[in-house]
């Protein structure tokens, strides 16, 4: 049987959606990609050139999507791709289709000069392709009792919450607040409501007597606030308390988890002062194709928040000789001229530089105080941007 490898065009929309829905519903639970991920799978958003297909006798038997992403760090844009809708027909497994399509997608990313890719999925399955769990997400547990004892009696009234729908005016305020963040994945303004609605999330505007005070993105099935941003970060406890009061009208839940990113120092300070506890987890699975721009951007992000130790390190990642130097708290990443103090393959390098455990568990970090002082770099991922 002849297999043809190709890339989907706009006319393939219905077949791509039907195939993805069938495979994921067969393997997991009932799935409808246009409602689960409207930012990608609404008919009007469907993109040509990003779905890699294996076809038998003209019918799709396997599919891999590679969706454009832009990571903005202090104004520097790092282009990447998010891998998703990886699917093989249950009657076409063990034919090598997933490997072939992943290899096609990764070859195109490298050809096009992209610096990273990311995905969600089983660790060992995707480590064969250079992806590994990395980055940091901090999740705080917040209870009513935490809020009550933290706030006590306050003069300002509780924040009001309003669930948003497409076209609401607060979306413009949300977009501006998101754009003001030092590190973020870029979001298309025209698709913003659908981006925030990914994975069946709901978006709430937080309002005070002056109007828009911030927003949060909540997933009811996980009892978790995936993203929260306020004009005044010091009001986080008040915002969480107002949200729990709002939830109390429809449920008896007295707690909620809140995701915070490792570079959000103002949020971390506030939540650390009142939350019941927290846990660290990997943010996503990442592959890095071009390390210097990623290392440079994240070192600068970390240096904006804390003083980096002075020193230098020559390393080789794959075939790339790289020098990391810090002088008076300023980091510079450049090509290395001589030998390497440390030799890593790309998978090892992702684990070393971006894992929260690296300072505690990685031998190179244990043996080099300068390197240990840099780690971990604040790679992150926010759930609404997930693929």
Write the pLDDT tens digit of every residue in 200-224: 999 999 999 999 999 999 999 989 9
Assess if residue 387 is contained within a domain: no
Report the chain's mean pLDDT, rounded to a whole number. 95
CA–CA separation, 136 and 301 (whole Å)? 14
What span, in angstroms and rounded, lies between the C-alpha atoms of 8 and 16?
8
The CA distances from residue 173 to 184, 189, 230, in Å, are 16, 11, 11
329 and 306 in a single domain? The answer is yes
Mean pLDDT in residue range 173-195: 98
What are residue 183's phi and psi, to 5 degrees?
Answer: -140, 130
- Residue listed under structure tokens 């994921």: 24
**Do 146 and 266 lie in a common domain?**
yes
Residue that terminates a domain, selected from 97, 113, 131:
131
| Side-chain half-sphere CA neighbours of 252 within 13 A | 0
Residue 19 tokens read as 């195939």
214-71-286 Cα angle (round to 5): 115
What pLDDT, on the 0 to 100 scale, is given for residue 153?
Answer: 53
Assess whether 98 and 23 both reside in one domain.
yes
Beta strands in the chain (DSSP E): 3-7, 51-56, 59-73, 76-88, 116-119, 132-134, 137-143, 160-163, 183-185, 202-208, 211-219, 224-230, 255-260, 277-281, 284-288, 311-317, 320-327, 330-335, 342-344
| Predicted confidence band of residue 251 (pLDDT cuts 50, 70, 90) | low
- Predicted pLDDT of residue 339: 86
Confidence of residue 114 (pLDDT cuts 50, 70, 90): very high
Whether residues 142 and 207 fall in one domain: yes
Strand ranges across the sheet with 342-344: 330-335, 320-327, 311-317, 342-344
| 3-class SS of residue 320 | strand
Residue 386 lies in a domain: no
The pLDDT score that the predictor gives to residue 106 is 98
Instruction: Write down which residue in 281, 314, 332 finishes a domain.
Output: 281
What percentage of the chain carries pLDDT values higher than 70? 97
Claim to verify: residue 81 and residue 163 sit in the same structural domain: no
Looking at the whole model, is its pTM more than 0.75?
yes
For residue 125, the model assigns a pLDDT of 95
Q: How many CA atoms lie within 13 A of 77 on its CB side?
A: 9
Average pLDDT over residues 244-255: 78
- The answer to whether residues 152 and 173 belong to one domain is yes
pLDDT for position 149? 86
User: Which two structure tokens, joined as six digits, stand for 255?
Assistant: 């707690």
Residue 252, pLDDT score: 59
379 falls within a domain: no
Higher confidence at residue 337 or residue 156? Answer: 337
* In a domain? residue 226: yes
1-38: per-residue pLDDT in tens?
789 999 999 999 999 999 999 999 998 889 999 999 99
Same domain for 332 and 296 = yes
> What integer pLDDT is reported at residue 27 of this predicted model?
82
Q: What CATH code is carried by the domain that includes residue 41?
A: 3.40.630.30
* Beta-carbon contacts of residue 105 (< 8 Å; ≥ 6 apart): 52, 64, 66, 81, 83
User: Does position 175 have pLDDT exceeding 60, yes or no?
Assistant: yes
The answer to whether position 384 is within a domain reads no
What's the rounded Cα separation, in Å, for the pair 357 and 348? 13
Residues 144 and 276 in one domain: yes
Last residue of a domain, one of 131, 150, 169: 131
Give the model confidence (pLDDT) of 36-75 as tens digits: 999 999 999 999 999 999 999 999 999 999 999 999 999 9
Report if residue 381 sits inside a domain.
no
Q: Are 90 and 127 in contact (CB under 8 A)?
A: no
CATH code at position 328: 3.30.1050
Q: What is the pLDDT of residue 210?
A: 93
In a domain, 383, yes or no: no
Same domain? 126 vs 210: no
Predicted local distance difference test score (pLDDT) of residue 9: 95
Q: Which of 52-66, 150-164, 261-275 has the lowest mean pLDDT?
A: 150-164
Full residue range of the structural domain in which residue 203 is found: 137-281
**Would residue 216 count as lying in a domain?**
yes
Q: Is residue 151 very low, low, confident or very high in pLDDT (cuts 50, 70, 90)?
A: confident
Same domain, 201 and 324: no
On whether both 104 and 191 belong to a single domain, the answer is no
- pLDDT band with cut points at 50, 70 and 90 for residue 154: low
Q: How distant, in Å, are the alpha carbons of 5, 16, 64, 121, 127 from that of 50?
A: 13, 12, 8, 19, 22
Question: Domain count of the chain?
Answer: 3
Do 100 and 151 belong together in one domain?
no
């Amino acid at each position: 049987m002849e297999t043809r490898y190709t890339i989907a065009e706009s006319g393939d929309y219905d077949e791509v959606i039907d195939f993805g829905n069938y495979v994921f519903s067969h393997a997991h639970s009932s799935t409808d990609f246009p409602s689960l991920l409207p930012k990608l799978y609404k008919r009007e958003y469907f993109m040509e050139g990003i779905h890699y297909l294996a076809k038998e006798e003209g019918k799709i038997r396997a599919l891999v999507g590679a969706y454009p992403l832009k990571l903005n760090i202090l104004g520097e844009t790092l282009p990447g791709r998010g891998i998703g809708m990886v699917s093989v027909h249950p009657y076409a497994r063990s034919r090598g289709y997933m490997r072939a399509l992943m290899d096609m997608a990764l070859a195109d990313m490298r050809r096009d000069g992209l610096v990273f890719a990311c995905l969600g999925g089983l660790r060992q399955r995707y480590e064969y392709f250079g992806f590994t769990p990395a980055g940091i997400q901090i999740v705080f547990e917040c209870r009513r009792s935490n809020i009550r004892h933290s706030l006590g009696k306050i003069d300002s009234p509780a924040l009001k919450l309003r669930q948003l729908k497409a076209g609401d005016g607060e979306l413009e305020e949300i977009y501006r607040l998101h754009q003001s963040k030092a590190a973020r994945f870029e979001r298309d303004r025209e698709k913003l409501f659908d981006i925030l609605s990914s994975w069946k999330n709901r978006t709430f505007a937080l309002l005070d007597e002056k109007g828009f005070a911030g927003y949060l993105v909540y997933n009811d099935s996980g009892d978790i606030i995936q993203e929260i941003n306020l004009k005044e970060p010091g009001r986080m406890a008040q915002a969480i308390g107002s949200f729990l009061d709002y939830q109390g009208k429809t449920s008896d839940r007295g707690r909620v988890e809140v995701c915070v990113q490792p570079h959000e120092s103002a949020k971390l300070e506030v939540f650390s002062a009142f939350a019941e506890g927290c846990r660290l987890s990997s943010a996503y699975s990442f592959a890095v194709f071009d390390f210097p721009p990623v290392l440079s951007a994240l070192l600068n992000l970390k240096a904006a928040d804390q003083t980096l130790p002075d020193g230098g390190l020559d390393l080789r990642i794959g075939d790339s000789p790289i020098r990391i130097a810090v002088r008076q708290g300023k980091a510079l990443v450049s090509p290395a001229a001589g030998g390497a103090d440390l030799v890593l393959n790309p998978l090892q390098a992702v684990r070393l530089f971006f894992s929260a455990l690296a300072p505690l568990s990685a031998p190179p970090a244990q043996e080099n105080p300068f390197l240990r002082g840099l780690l971990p770099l604040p790679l992150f991922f926010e759930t609404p941007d997930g693929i």
